[in-house]
Structure 1
């Protein structure tokens, strides 16, 4: 856990993936191929955030 806030600029070229097997986890891939993930406290928040980011 970092004490610093991580900021990622959202770009149209990014790919987002929410897997039903991991209901509270969102993976995303940036331009250079790096893959990151976001864990949600509530699994109910993940699908909505994923759809919002895909727009």
Structure 2
């Protein structure tokens, strides 16, 4: 078995750049929908603009 000696030719700057590329961003804890107050106004407008329920015909 032949032993090989490997010498490192990297600089601390290159090592830091490589480390920054390898770091993965943190995952979000929750993807739950967030409360938005303007959505309440949209829902209220849709409720007011929705068509009324049809009435049952009267027997004559």
Task: Report the TM-score, using the length of structure 2 for normalisation.
Answer: 0.20
- The structure with the largest strand share of the pair is 1
Tell which structure's C-alpha radius of gyration is larger. Answer: 2
Higher relative contact order (CA 8 A, sep 6+): 1
Please report the TM-score for the alignment, with normalisation by the length of structure 1.
0.21
Q: Larger helix proportion, structure 1 or 2?
A: 2
